[in-house]
């Protein structure tokens, strides 16, 4: 089957998929129409509309009807949410297993173009591939650059992160330093030498994929036959370069984009998100089943889309509150919020929605320097001194090797930096090797990678790197593929003359409850503020960044004011209060709107904001109250 023309999705198919999906899922007519549609079209889906569930249902039906053994469905995304949803809802079914293996592909844009095009093309030119990681590789190149050139580049606001090819192979952006200067020539030579050793940034591997496609039309023919149907999940986060790559690789495949243009927030990692999504005349899912009309009313003013969201839930009706605080009372904001949570929800409700929880989040959460009085409060850390920005969203200690691998993948998806993923993979392998030998074979030194390499000769080092890459290139670690991974692990152990023996540590576990702590060898619950009132009732508030909660549903969310060039919430207060300025929206404010739209659409029950009192005037307070906000002053 080169195409999918013989596939038709019927109501009977949708009835079937409702039965196999866990949970009380019923698709109404608009959602059924989206599932049935097999044309090239985009789906603009508002928060809580069940976008990913709809996509998973559609994929399950297609997998059931798929007959080709050599062509498959391709699902690309900015993260692995779609894949995780398949594992969660269909993990124990044959349909789920089919979707997660050949001939189908479900993973990130980077992993697809690396696996199928970029890395094979690099190897075909005679270069090895040792490591693909932007920060590690650029730092390595910076160290190779003569120290006398560092000052010149830094004065031009160029850092180690600029020692790479970004927009075009062979071209570096070093400000006003032309190609004829010695600095430019030496920097370029260092990059080329680095690549000859097999060191590449993520961006460079995509540039090689672009080169391969441009020079070889047969690659495009192959990919289209291999994947006649393409879905792009979280399409709003795909940047212009990636869209160009996708469109030139899949020009005749059926393409469907799923996403929400109001939530394009991943340009914080340097990506230039464009207006490629949605295309003209998208199918729209305006109804959110997450929250009620009160929350949709106060969040709609932040949306950049023309269509408005409709809150359809009737589960909760809460007093959504803005806390206005004197800056000397910033330390009491979490306590006041906790009191409101306890007065809003019963203990039974708090227990029922414990997995969703209550969260306090901000746009800035990493403390890079001390906060000045003008910037205060600058980040989440200013609201609670115990906040640790290095913590992830997971909160128990890994007990199994697979959990270390999952943590590594989570780090890569969250930060885009492979050296963090490598660190977790190696931590797990170090424990396994040392446990298996009942001695310290691999020491826990500053560079764990070097600790492993120091035990191997050159030939074994190359094999070790290849095996680690096999683990790193996995987008997830489902039970069906764990035996495969164990074989790779066994081959790694043999390099160290360690026998592969079965132990509990090697068992597969589907545990997504794990937290990273500041000390790389110690783990435990972090970034949780606990409040206990006089009657011994308690609530836990999980702190984090806005980016870390994208895609989540909360019982309650508190959005904290933070500072980046200006105070973020204060900068968009005219929109939040329903009276936006008529002047053209700048890039920073557009990003603030999208970020806070994401933040303010997480809660199914209670939504709160915390803003310094001196940032909000009386007219703004009046407008906020007219929209339905409750105002509470902390002084």
pLDDT at position 206: 94
Look at residue 155 and tell me whether its pLDDT is greater than 70.
yes
Q: Token digits for 204?
A: 């460079």
Angstrom distances, CA of residue 312 to CA of 43, 117, 196, 600:
19, 44, 57, 16
Residues 374 and 276 in one domain: no
pLDDT at position 268: 37
pLDDT tens by residue, 411-448: 777 666 677 788 889 989 988 887 777 666 787 665 78
Sheet holding 358-362, edge to edge: 528-532, 538-545, 358-362, 554-560, 603-612, 321-325, 630-634
Contact 46, 260 (CB under 8 A): yes
* Beta pairing partners, 42: 257
Confirm or deny that 46 is annotated as ligand binding: yes
Q: How confident is the model at residue 273 (pLDDT cuts 50, 70, 90)?
A: very low
Residues 106 and 227 in one domain: yes
Look at residue 396 and tell me whether its pLDDT is greater than 60.
no
Select from 259, 285, 311 the last residue of a domain. 285
Confirm or deny that 159 is annotated as ligand binding: no
Averaged confidence pLDDT in the chain: 87
Confirm or deny that 240 is annotated as ligand binding: no
- Asked if residue 123 belongs to a domain, the reply is no
Confirm or deny that 557 is annotated as ligand binding: no
Query: 247-261, 504-518, 617-631: which has the minimum mean pLDDT?
Result: 504-518
Q: Token digits for 495?
A: 């390099």
Residues 82 and 145 in one domain: no
Question: Tokens 């003359």 appear where?
Answer: 497
pLDDT tens by residue, 519-531: 333 333 478 999 9
- Asked if residue 5 belongs to a domain, the reply is no
- Asked if residue 394 belongs to a domain, the reply is no
pLDDT at position 455: 87
Number of domains observed in the structure of the chain: 4
Select from 231, 251, 285 the last residue of a domain. 285
Residues 108 and 220 in one domain: yes
pLDDT at position 274: 53
pLDDT at position 613: 97
Strand ranges (E), 64-170: 73-77, 105-108, 131-132
Residues 88 and 221 in one domain: yes
Mean pLDDT along residues 124-151: 87
pLDDT tens by residue, 451-470: 898 888 888 888 998 899 88
Look at residue 611 and tell me whether its pLDDT is greater than 60.
yes
Whole-structure pTM over 0.75, yes or no? Answer: no
Query: 196-210, 222-236, 374-388, 406-420: which has the minimum mean pLDDT?
Result: 406-420
Residues 501 and 407 in one domain: yes
Query: 251 lies in which domain range?
Result: 11-114+216-285
- Asked if residue 342 belongs to a domain, the reply is yes
Q: How confident is the model at residue 381 (pLDDT cuts 50, 70, 90)?
A: very high
- Asked if residue 304 belongs to a domain, the reply is yes
Confirm or deny that 52 is annotated as ligand binding: yes
Top-ranked range on mean pLDDT: pick from 73-82, 142-151, 322-331: 322-331
Mean pLDDT along residues 194-199: 91
User: Residue 158: which residues within 8 A CB-CB, separation 6 or more?
Assistant: 173, 174, 175
Mean pLDDT along residues 103-123: 90
Q: Token digits for 292?
A: 């009620």
User: Residue 218: which residues within 8 A CB-CB, separation 6 or more?
Assistant: none
Q: How confident is the model at residue 540 (pLDDT cuts 50, 70, 90)?
A: very high
- Asked if residue 522 belongs to a domain, the reply is no
Q: Token digits for 9?
A: 């999705």
Q: Which helix (H) or strand (E) holds 630?
A: strand 630-634
CA distance 66 to 1: 8
Look at residue 36 and tell me whether its pLDDT is greater than 50.
yes
Mean pLDDT along residues 57-71: 94
Confirm or deny that 238 is annotated as ligand binding: no
pLDDT at position 280: 87
Mean pLDDT along residues 400-408: 88
- Asked if residue 129 belongs to a domain, the reply is no
Residues 345 and 377 in one domain: yes
Look at residue 52 and tell me whether its pLDDT is greater than 50.
yes
Mean pLDDT along residues 382-409: 75
Q: Which of 511, 510, 487, 514 is nearest to 500 (CA)?
A: 487
Mean pLDDT along residues 526-550: 91
Confirm or deny that 124 is annotated as ligand binding: no
pLDDT at position 450: 81
Residues 109 and 141 in one domain: no
Q: How confident is the model at residue 634 (pLDDT cuts 50, 70, 90)?
A: very high
Return the number of other C-beta atoms located less than 10 Å from residue 70's C-beta: 10
Residues 550 and 603 in one domain: yes
Name the percent of the chain lying above pLDDT 70. Answer: 91
Residues 534 and 623 in one domain: yes
Confirm or deny that 574 is annotated as ligand binding: no
Residues 242 and 106 in one domain: yes
Look at residue 87 and tell me whether its pLDDT is greater than 50.
yes
Contact 455, 476 (CB under 8 A): no
Mean pLDDT along residues 95-121: 89
Residues 500 and 622 in one domain: no
């Amino acid at each position: 089957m080169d195409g999918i023309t013989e596939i038709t999705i019927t109501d009977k198919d949708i009835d079937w998929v409702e039965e196999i999906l866990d949970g009380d899922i019923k698709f109404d007519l608009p959602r059924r129409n989206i599932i049935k549609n097999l044309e090239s079209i985009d789906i603009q889906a508002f928060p809580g509309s069940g976008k990913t569930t709809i996509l998973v249902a559609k994929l399950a039906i297609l997998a059931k009807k798929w007959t080709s053994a050599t062509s498959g469905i391709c699902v690309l995304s900015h993260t692995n949410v779609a894949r995780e949803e398949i594992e969660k809802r269909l993990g124990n079914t044959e349909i789920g297993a089919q979707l997660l293996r050949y001939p189908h592909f479900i993973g990130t844009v980077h992993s697809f173009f690396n696996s199928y095009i970029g890395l094979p093309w690099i190897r075909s030119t005679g270069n090895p591939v040792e490591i693909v990681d932007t920060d590690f590789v650029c730092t390595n190149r910076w160290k190779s650059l003569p120290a006398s050139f560092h000052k010149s580049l830094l004065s031009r606001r160029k850092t180690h992160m600029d020692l790479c090819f970004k927009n075009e192979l062979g071209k570096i952006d070093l400000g006003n330093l032309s190609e004829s200067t010695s600095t430019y020539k030496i920097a370029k030579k260092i990059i080329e030498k680095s690549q000859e050793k097999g060191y590449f940034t993520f961006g460079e591997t995509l540039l090689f994929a672009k080169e391969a496609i441009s020079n070889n039309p047969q690659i495009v023919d192959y990919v289209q036959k291999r994947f006649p149907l393409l879905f792009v999940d979280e399409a709003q986060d795909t940047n212009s370069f990636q869209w160009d790559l996708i469109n030139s690789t899949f020009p005749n495949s059926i393409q469907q984009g799923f996403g929400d243009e109001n939530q394009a927030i991943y340009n914080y990692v340097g990506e230039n998100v464009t207006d490629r999504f949605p295309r003209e005349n998208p199918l729209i899912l305006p109804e959110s089943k997450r929250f009620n009309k009160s929350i949709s009313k106060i969040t709609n003013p932040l949306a950049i889309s023309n269509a408005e969201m409709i809150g359809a839930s009737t589960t909760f009706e809460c007093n959504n509150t803005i806390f206005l605080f004197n800056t000397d009372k910033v330390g009491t904001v979490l306590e006041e919020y906790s009191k409101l949570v306890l007065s809003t929800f019963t203990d039974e409700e708090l227990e029922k929605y414990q997995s969703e929880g209550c969260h306090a989040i901000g746009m800035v959460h990493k403390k890079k320097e001390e906060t000045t009085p003008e910037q205060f409060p600058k980040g989440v850390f200013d609201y609670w001194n115990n906040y640790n920005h290095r913590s992830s969203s997971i909160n128990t200690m890994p007990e199994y090797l697979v959990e270390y691998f999952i943590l590594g993948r989570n780090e890569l998806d969250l930060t885009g930096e492979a050296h963090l993923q490598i660190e977790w993979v190696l931590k797990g392998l170090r424990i396994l090797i040392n446990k298996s030998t009942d001695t310290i074979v691999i020491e826990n030194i500053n560079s764990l990678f070097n600790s492993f390499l120091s035990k191997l000769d050159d030939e074994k080092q190359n094999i070790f790197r290849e095996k680690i890459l096999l683990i790193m290139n996995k987008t997830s670690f489902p039970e069906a593929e764990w035996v495969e991974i164990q074989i790779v692990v066994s081959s790694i152990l043999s390099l160290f003359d360690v026998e592969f023996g079965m132990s509990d540590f090697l068992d597969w576990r589907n545990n997504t409850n794990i937290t990273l702590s500041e000390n790389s060898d110690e783990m435990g619950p972090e970034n949780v503020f606990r409040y206990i009132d006089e009657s011994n009732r308690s609530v836990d508030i999980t702190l984090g960044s806005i980016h870390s909660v994208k895609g989540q549903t909360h019982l309650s969310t508190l959005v904290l004011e933070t500072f980046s060039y200006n105070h973020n919430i204060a900068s968009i207060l005219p929109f939040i209060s329903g009276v936006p300025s008529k002047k053209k929206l700048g890039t920073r404010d557009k990003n603030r709107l999208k970020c806070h739209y994401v933040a303010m659409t997480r809660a199914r029950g209670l939504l709160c904001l915390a803003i310094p009192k001196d940032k909000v005037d009386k007219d703004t307070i009046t407008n906020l109250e007219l929209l339905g906000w409750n105002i509470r002053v902390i002084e």
